[in-house]
Structure formats: structure tokens, C-alpha cells
Chain A
Amino acid sequence: MFTYILRRVAQSFVVLILVMLVTFTLPYFQYHGIRAPAYVVLGTHATPANVAHWAQANGMNHPYWVRFWTYATQVLFHFNLGHSFKQNMSVWQIIALYIPRTIWLAVAALTFTILIAIPLGIFQASKRNTAIDYIATGSAFVLYAVPSFLLCLLVLDLFSFHGPHLPSSPPQGVAPWAIFTDPIGFILPVACLTMLSVAGLSRFMRGTVLEVLVQDYIRTAKAKGCSGRRTLMRHAFRNALGPIITILGLSIPGLLGGALIIESVFNYGGLGIQTVAAATSLDVPVVLGITLLASILTLSGNLIADVALGLVNPRLRIEGTK
């Protein structure tokens, strides 16, 4: 098991280096290439001499690999993601300020997604091709087709502006504990994010459980007189758990992307809203820094999913120790 985890960590590290290579290389394709930051910082009318001086002062004239080495060591050993062009803060300060809020939103939504999507998948698969299954599949189809922001705005209109008058925005304080000052404000954003990810996942969930239900061991369990409930819980669910964990690990990028939209709609200052603001003001280091961080979150999610997979699946565990 330990070797298995070690191998997966090494693999994730290689992938992380590749992601860093991508985020490092992308700015080279800007309009002014590598000199683009100079024009953002000094203004569009900067003289070539000024630009050249700025580039020299900021180490822009070094070769590509030297610059990548500096970037990588700064990121990996000093957690230094650079400095924002537009806000007088380092990228890391911006991230530290907003990340608890995004993580809180994503974790809350992920919890509810697991609590809803897994039972729903099992229920749909066991009641396959009944009216309930069709209704559930149909609504997931429609929910998947609604643009996420439109869904949020309709929910806002139905539950906040009319009807129960729930708060339309979560608490605004930036301090980490400000999250807990008004939990009711989180009902709508978390509900929306949960709905979106359940719609995305339910197709997979149903399919995964269905695939398990046609296996021979399920037939054997039924044949030996196992009750329907016991077959589902002890035989089907435990075998479907592996793929379900993998899918949950893979759903993290979608969750973060969804959080980006949710934050914009509900005006909840998190990483997503910062990314959009930075993107519209061409603040490249912030965009790249947050993107890199989001990739690291995704990678760790996949890693945790794989380790959990090793824990629930004895076959993988044995393979790992060999």
C-alpha cells in the first residue's frame, strides 16, 4: 500500500511539473510576448528604453529554461507565485485571503453532492426503466442543459426575491471566521452548486451501479436468497464504490469551475471571482497563480481518491505491496 501511495505521489509530482510548464509558457504567447508585463505595469505608451530597462530589472532577458528554473524553485520552495500587476499584493496574499471561502463553498457542495448523488444513483439503477427513473434521468438531462448562471439566477428569483426571501448573498467579510457569521446566506449558493454537480454526476452514478448490477456475483447473491436491500448494500454498493470514488476525485475541476460561476452570481468573494476580475484586467500572474493552485487542488483530489480507492479495493492493495 505504501509503495502504491509513493508511486502515485511521484506521478502527481511529474504532472505538477508539466502543469507548471504550461502555466509558465502560456504568457509567452501574449501580444507583446515576454515583454507584455512591462506594458501592463508601465502603461501602453512606455518607451522601448523603459521597457528594456524593466525587462532587465525583472530578469526577463534570461533564457527560457533559466527563467523556468527560477519560477519552479520560487513556486516549489518559497511558495512565491509572483506579484499582481494591478493590486498591490503578491499573488499568494490574494490566494490566502480568498481560498478559505472557495474551499468552504466547494466542500459544503461536495458533501451534499455525495449525500444526494450516490443514493440517487443506486435508487435509479435498482428501479431501472420505471417512471421514477425516467423522471430523474430527464430532470438531470434538463438540469445539465441549463447554463449554470441561468439556473442560479432563476433560483435567486424564486427563493430570494419572491417566496421565502432567503438571503441572496453569503456574508461578505474576508476573515475566515466571517463565513460562520450568517450560515443562512449559504443555503442558496451551496444548493445551486450541489444541483449542478449532481446533474453532472448522476449520469455516471446510474451507469456505474448498473454495470455492477449485471455482474455474476449479484446474480449469485440473489440466487442464494439474499434480500434485495442486502444485495444492493453489501454486494452492489461496495463494488461500485471504487468507480464512484474515482468519479468524485475527477469531479473537483468541475466543482471549482462551478464555484467560479456561483461566486460571480452570488457576489461571493472567492478565488473564482478574483480570477475573472484578474482576467478582465489582464492581470496575468494572478490568473496563472490561481490556475496553478486550482490544478494542485485537483491533483491532490485525484491523489486522495486513488489512495481511498486502494483502501476500499483489496485487489489494488495487494498489487501495491508486491
Chain B
Amino acid sequence: MTDPQFQETDEVIDPELQDTINDTFDDTRPEEIVDKTVPLWRQRLNIFAQNKLAIVSVAFLLLITLSCYLVPILHPTNQTNQAATFNVPWNQHPSWAHPLGTDSSGYDVLGRIFYGGEYSLTLGFFAGLITIVVGTLYGMISGFFAGVTDTIMMRLLDAMLSIPYLFLLITLITIFNRSTVFLIVIIGMTGWWANARIIRGDALLIRNLEYSQAATAMGASKLHIIRRHVFPNSISNIVTVATFSVADAILFLSALGFLGLGIQSPQTDWGTMLQLGSVQFQNGYWWEVFPLATVFILVVVSINYIGDAMRDAFEVRLLER
């Protein structure tokens, strides 16, 4: 009880209020000043929930992800067995046996959408994860240490950024093999440059702000400042960029699929399927491209919407204090 306003009153204070006051002005436990009542994650969730479009997006994405992983197990149709396609009519109209028809190889289109989604979503998620982890580390180090380190690291980044992305991706896939793991690593390791730029900008800004300088003056170690000040204050950008990275990784994987450099047959991903489907679409077999195209576009759009809502949720200035 150091605040003079409360010391000078003789009124009896309601014990519950007294507790709150104690908690609020107790300077031995500074972490708990901000919110005793509503935990931080709860506040963020509340802000996120204000964006109705984002809630719909999350629900849709959950539904699609669950179906992609569960439907091929729960309802196995012919999705990859090449031998079993010989006695199935190709390019068959939708029917009860095949709700979305069969494709040009005789595979069940609906089952194949979920099967391909498994690859696209997994690859997109892990490539996005690599992108954000590496990008954050690189950006933080470059921005926080500034000076010569920053100059060298940024010139390296300039070199990588000036190689057109799709060309580099094709080069790497030519040189390395095309297994799923390599695709994840290649898309992940080539996607973080723009992220590093953004996060480096944040780190550079935050290290010069008063609270970081105060921490330095009080003798905090560099690691401590990065962990307790720079990272939490740039989390809004990190989370947003991470979300967009996943969407971008899915899009780039689809471009590779179109060029025939994606997942190899009989396995498939959405890009490869869309490419094959769009060829058949010219012959009038709409069911091979439109259902998948709708799902694909909705998935990418909803990831982007979630990213937008995340930006708001992690924006410290919007928190109710």
C-alpha cells in the first residue's frame, strides 16, 4: 500500500476490493499487474472471436483438415491403387458409388480430394512452420544486433530475395530429389526471406524503444531482452506472417504440382489434381476441377482471414486493460 490516495482514507474498504487493490499495487509481483481477472489468452480469444468471418474460417478449416485425415481411413475408396482402376470407367459422372465421379485414371474424385489434401495441408503446415522459425531467428538476430552483423545478414538476404522464387524452387527441385520431406524442406527453406525482413524491422524498432533501453541499463542480458521484450512485442507480426506463410506454401506447392514437379503419382496433392482436372475440364468433365477448386480457394482464403484476425488478436493496443 504505497499509493497515498488509499493511505489517507479512513473508510472501511470492502475486503474484496482490498484484495484487488493489493494485487494491483503490489510491486513485488509485477507480472500480475496487467490482468488478474481475465487471462491474456482469453482476451486474445475474445478479440479473435469478434471477427465472425475468422470463426467461420476456423470451423471450415477444421472440418476440411479432419476430413482430409479421417475420411481416407474411415471411408476407403480407390484413391491410389492403380491396379484396381482397370475395371472402373474413367471420367464417370457423379453417382452414388462415386459422389464426385471418377477422374481420368479411374480414381474416386471425392476420396482423392481428401487424400491429396492430406499432402497439401501437411506440406503447407510444416513448410510454413520452417519458414516462420528460421525467418524469426534470422530476423531477430539481424535486427537486434544491428551494425555490421545486420549489414552482412541483410546483404545475404538481398542476394536470396533477388533470385525469383519460382525459378529457385525449380532449380532446387532439379538438383535435389522430389520426396515429400525434401519438398517441405525446400519450400520451407526458400520461403523465409521476406518473413525475416519483416521481423528484422520489428526487432530493429523494438531494440531502440525506451523499455529495451531501460532493460539494458538495468543490466539485462541480450538473450533476456530478446526473450522478454523483443519477441513478445513482435509476436503480432510473427503470428500473422506465419499464417500467411502456410497459405503461400500451399499455393507454391500447387504451382509446382501444375509444372509436374510436385508429389509424384500415384500419390497426389491438390495442385497436381487441379492440373489434371483442368485438362479434363476442357472435355466437359467439370466434377474433376470445380469441387476441388472451390475447396482449395476457400482453404487459402480462410487461412488468410485467420491471419488477419490473428493480427488483431495479438495487437497489444487492442487489449482491454
Determine whether the beta carbon of B162 is less than 8 Å from that of A19.
yes
A295 contacts B163, C-beta separation under 8 Å: yes
> Does B158 sit at the interface, judged by CB under 8 A?
yes
Assuming A145-B297, A276-B259, A280-B260, is B172 touching A26 (CB within 8 A)? Answer: yes
Residues facing B in A120-173 (CB within 8 A) are 141-142, 144-150, 153-154, 157, 161
Q: B296 on the interface (CB 8 Å rule)?
A: yes
A305 at the interface (CB under 8 A from B): no
Q: If A15-B158, A279-B173 touch, does A149 touch B258 (CB 8 Å cutoff)?
A: yes
* Residues on B with beta carbons closer than 8 Å to the beta carbon of A288: 171
Contact of B162 among A148, A161, A282, A299 (CB under 8 A): A299
Inter-chain contact B175/A29, CB cutoff 8 Å: yes
Q: A15-B159, A150-B274 are in contact. Are A291 and B171 (CB under 8 A)?
A: yes
Cβ–Cβ < 8 Å partners of B305 in chain A: 141
Report Cα–Cα, A144/B247, bound state, in Å: 10
Are A146's CB and B297's CB within 8 A?
A: yes
Q: CB-CB < 8 A to A208: which residues of B? A: none
> Min CB distance, B307 to chain A, in Å?
11
A145 contact set on B, CB distance < 8 A: 247, 251, 296-297, 300-301, 304
CA of A149 to CA of B257, assembled, Å: 10
State which of A47-55, A216-224, A254-262 sits at the interface with chain B. A254-262
B170 at the binding interface (Cβ < 8 Å):
yes
Which residue of the partner chain A has the closest CB to B251? A147
Pair A22/B155 contact, Cβ less than 8 Å:
no
Interface residues of A in 47-95 (CB under 8 A from B): none
Q: Across the interface, do B167 and A11 meet the contact criterion of CB distance under 8 Å?
A: no
B215 at the interface (CB under 8 A from A): no
Q: How far is the CA of A141 from the CA of B282 in the complex (A)?
A: 26
**Candidates B172, B176, B261, B271; contact of A147 at CB < 8 Å:** B271
Residues of A contacting B281 in the complex (Cβ-Cβ under 8 angstroms) = 153, 157
Residues in A with CB closer than 8 Å to B261 are: 279-280
Determine the residue in chain A with the shortest Cβ distance to B289: A150
Q: Within 8 Å of chain B (Cβ to Cβ): is A302? A: yes
Contact with A along B217-260 (1 / 0, CB 8 A): 00000000000000000000000000000010001001100111
- The answer to whether A279 touches B162 (Cβ under 8 A) is no
The secondary-structure label for the interface of chain A is helix
Q: Does B88 sit within 8 A of A, measured CB to CB?
A: no
Which of chain B's residues have a CB closer than 8 A to the CB of A257? 164-167
Q: Measured between C-beta atoms, what is the minimum distance from B260 to chain A in Å?
A: 7
Report which of A153, A287, A294 forms a contact with B174, defined as CB distance below 8 A: A287
Instruction: Knowing A141-B301, A142-B297, say if A19 contacts B159 (CB, 8 Å).
Output: yes
Does any Cβ of A come within 8 Å of B133's Cβ? no
B205 at interface by CB-CB < 8 Å: no
Chain B residue, CB-CB nearest to A143: B297
Cβ contact within 8 Å between A279 and B164: no
CB contacts (< 8 Å) of B168 on chain A: these are 291
Contact A290 B167 (CB under 8 A): yes
Please state if B260 and A298 are interface contacts (CB–CB under 8 Å). Answer: no
A 1-31 to B, binary, CB cutoff 8 A, 1 in contact else 0: 0000000000100110011001100110111
**A264: Cβ under 8 A from any B Cβ:** yes
Which chain B residues border A31 with CB–CB below 8 Å? 177
Most buried by B among A30, A149, A264: A149
Q: CB distance B174 to A253 under 8 Å?
A: no
Tell me if A26 and B274 are in contact (CB < 8 A).
no
Closest B residue to A21 by beta carbon equals: B159
- What is the CB-to-nearest-CB distance from B238 to chain A, in angstroms, rounded to a whole number? 19
Contacts A145-B301, A150-B274, A150-B278; is A291 near B258 (CB within 8 Å)?
Answer: no
Bound Cα distance A290, B164 (Å): 10
Determine the chain A residues whose CB is within 8 A of the CB of B282 once the complex forms.
153, 157, 161
- Does B13 belong to the interface (CB within 8 Å)? no
Q: Is B160 in the interface zone, CB < 8 Å from A? A: yes
* A194: Cβ under 8 A from any B Cβ: no
Q: Min CB distance, B28 to chain A, in Å?
A: 42
State the CA gap A279–B163 with chains docked (Å): 16
Q: B residues within 8 A CB of A149?
A: 254-255, 258, 274-275, 278
Specify which chain B residues have a CB less than 8 angstroms from the CB of A279 in the assembled complex. 170-171, 173-174, 259, 261
For B160, the chain A residues whose CB sits under 8 A away are 22
A188 to B228, CA, bound (A): 53
- A295–B159 alpha-carbon span in the complex (Å): 8
Bound form: Cα–Cα A26–B172 in Å: 8
Q: Known: A26-B171, A264-B258. Contact between A298 and B163, CB under 8 A?
A: yes
Q: Shortest distance in angstroms between B289's beta carbon and chain A's nearest beta carbon?
A: 8
Bound Cα distance A261, B258 (Å): 9
Cα distance, A157 to B289, chains bound together (Å): 13
A202 within 8 A of B: no
Task: Judge whether B175 and A284 touch: CB under 8 Å.
Answer: yes
Given contacts A18-B158, A145-B251, A149-B275, 5 further A-B contacts (CB under 8 A): A18-B156, A146-B293, A253-B161, A275-B167, A284-B174
What are 24 A-B pairs at a CB distance below 8 A? A15-B159, A19-B163, A22-B159, A31-B177, A142-B301, A145-B296, A145-B297, A147-B274, A147-B296, A149-B255, A157-B282, A253-B163, A257-B165, A260-B166, A275-B167, A276-B170, A279-B173, A279-B259, A280-B260, A280-B261, A287-B170, A288-B171, A294-B167, A298-B162
The 3 closest A-B pairs by CB, nearest first: A18-B159, A257-B166, A145-B300
